[in-house]
Structure formats: C-alpha cells, structure tokens
Structure 1
Amino acid sequence: MKALILSDSHGWTNEVKEIIDRHRDEVDVVYHCGDSELDQDHPVLKDANVVKGNCDFGVDFPNEIKEDVKGVRFYITHGHLYNVKLTTDRLSYRAEEMGAAIACFGHTHIATSFEQNGVIYINPGSIKLPLGGRTKTYAICERINDVTTVTFHQQTDGEIVEELTKVYD
C-alpha cells in the first residue's frame, strides 16, 4: 500500500497537479489534509480525497475521512477541530476511536511523523507556506507487510528530505 499525502496548498493549483502527476502511477491513494482553498469540483483535486480545513470556506469537503486502503485503515482530518497546534491528544483519541492504523493531518504547516499507541501520525507539512521557513514538503507513506515507511519530499522537485524519513515496524 502506498499513499501520497499533502496539505495546506492554500490556492496553489499547478503545484498540486505537478505533485499528483509526479506520483500518480506509484500510489494507491492521494489524500489532501485540507486548506486547499479550492472548490470541491476543481479539476486538480479530481484524483484526491480531500478534507475541509479552516481556510476552506463555502466548500462541502468532509471534516474527516475514514478509509481502508489495501487493508490499512486511514483517518484523515485537517486538525484545526482537534487543536493540533497545542496538542495531539484529542486527535489521538479520535484516531483510536476510528480504528486507524495511520492518521494524517495538516494545519500546523510542520512536517512530522510519529507513532503513539500503535497509530502512525503523519503531517506532510505545507507545500506552500511551511512554518519557520522550512522546506515545502509533502509525504509518501508506504506499508509493506507490517513495516511502514514515511518519506517527506520537497515540493519543488520531489527530492527526499532524508532527515524527516522514518521507518515504523
């Protein structure tokens, strides 16, 4: 199973299209963790599963997605409804309640992944406005058997950001 995860593109269309096109043939699913600031029917999002962020006004994206992809349960949300800028506790409770193996969120604009209580959490960062001048990133999550690898990639050229890459087994 392989998933492309991006977030906080804040109106960018060409960059979102470029990232999705770059990985289209190698992933099983594409998730956008909110703040696309695009309409639900925008062509760039046609191959993506998108949740509503705090900057997505007037659109009918869901606040959360629970989906099984090749036997792996994903939980996707933006994070603002769970106050993730202060703590991930509420997000953790919800992800566990949803039975998630992998929970993806945005909102903080900080690329990170971690494991807590058996759930892997992924924030792909922001492809437009990373916090503190960090690299503009998105993530790819791959699970083979019981080993999950999360790689972060530079928005501009897809190069892997090695210091953020983690393996969970």
Structure 2
Amino acid sequence: MKILIVSDSHGLQRELEELKKRHRDAELFIHCGDSELEKDDPAIQGFHVVRGNCDFHNGFPEQLLLSAKDKKIFVTHGHLYQVKTNPLNVYYKARESGADIACFGHSHRLGAEMADGVLLINPGSVRLPRGRSEKTYVVLEVGEDHYLVRVYEYLGKELEDLRQTFPF
C-alpha cells in the first residue's frame, strides 16, 4: 500500500494537484497541516488533512487516526506537541492512540525514524524547507513485514540516498 504524505504547503495549490496526479497510485493522501487552504479548495480534495498553526477558520481537525492495511496512522501538525524541540510527545500520543505510524510537520524538517515500534515521519515542507534545500514530501509503502520510506523533492526526483526500510 502506498501513502503520500505532505506538510507545510502554505498556500500552494497547483503543486498539491500535481502531487495527486504524479502519485495517483497512492491509496491514501495525507496532509499534515499548514495547507492554508479552505476545506472546500479543490487542491486539498482527496487528502486527509489536519489543522496547522497557520490554518485559520478552515474546519480541519487537530488530529486524525487513520487505517491503512492493518496499521493505524496518527496524524497531527505537531505544534500542539512541541515537535520543534522533541518528537517524543507525538510518539507518546501515537502510542496512547494505538498507532503504528505517526505523521507530523510543523518544523519543516524532513525526518523518519522508528521509536519502539512506532514509525515517526515528518515529510519536510514542499514550500519552505528547513535543514536542506530540497522541497520534500514522502511516499510511504507499507509492505508485508516492513515500511519503505521514499523521499521526493517537489519536482518528482526521488532522493534515493534518503530511502529507508524499517522492519515491523
């Protein structure tokens, strides 16, 4: 199963539409907040979206718990969990929620790591990356016994040196 994960697009519309077309084989589309788009904007349709600290009056929830295959995915923006200083609070909330995967943004910093059975993913930002120059997003593949995290820069080139496999 393929899952496209994006965050911190800060008003981009055409770019989100392009990602949906490019990865039409994805079965789940997740936006981790700060889209700065209204809930009925066509660019965000098809995405499961949470509210970020820059999303005002758009009607998105603060967090979501999604299912993919037999895995549960906790989605939040991260500002309510102080992810800029430490992802531990998101990890604890994911564990409390029974989630296998936690997706978040807010820091605009790309990252993926396994923490005691929970895969933590921050796809970076497709608009304003921090810590690297590439504007990034992630395609997560959930296999039979592993996760494959593939990082792409916005124009579609996979950053193969950042590809990671995590057994579960």
Common topology (TM > 0.5): yes
Query: Residue 11 of structure 2 corresponds to which residue in structure 1?
Result: 11
- Structure 2: 5+ residue runs without aligned partners? none
Secondary structure of 2:93's aligned partner: helix
Letter paired with 2:121: I
Paired with 1:99 and 1:164, the residues of 2 have a C-alpha distance of: 27
Deviation sequence 1:36-85 (CA, Å, 0-9, x none): 00001101111110000000011110000101112111110000000000
Letter paired with 2:15: E
Do the aligned residues in 2 keep the contact of 1:113 with 1:121 (CA within 8 Å)? yes
Q: How does 1:1-169 map to 2 (within 5 A)?
A: 1-24=1-24, 26-156=25-155, 158-169=156-167
The alignment's TM-score, normalised by the length of structure 2, stands at 0.97
Letter paired with 1:53: G
Letter paired with 2:165: V
Letter paired with 2:8: D
Do the aligned residues in 2 keep the contact of 1:112 with 1:164 (CA within 8 Å)? no
Paired with 2:116 and 2:146, the residues of 1 have a C-alpha distance of: 16
Deviation sequence 1:5-31 (CA, Å, 0-9, x none): 00000000001110111101x111000
Aligned residues: 167
Do the aligned residues in 2 keep the contact of 1:51 with 1:61 (CA within 8 Å)? yes
What is the percentage of aligned positions where both structures have the same residue? 43
Q: Flag as ranges the 4+ runs of structure 1 deviating above 6 A.
A: none
Secondary structure of 1:65's aligned partner: strand
Deviation sequence 1:97-122 (CA, Å, 0-9, x none): 11111110000111110000100011
The alignment's TM-score, normalised by the length of structure 1, stands at 0.96
Paired with 1:52 and 1:164, the residues of 2 have a C-alpha distance of: 28
Letter paired with 2:27: D
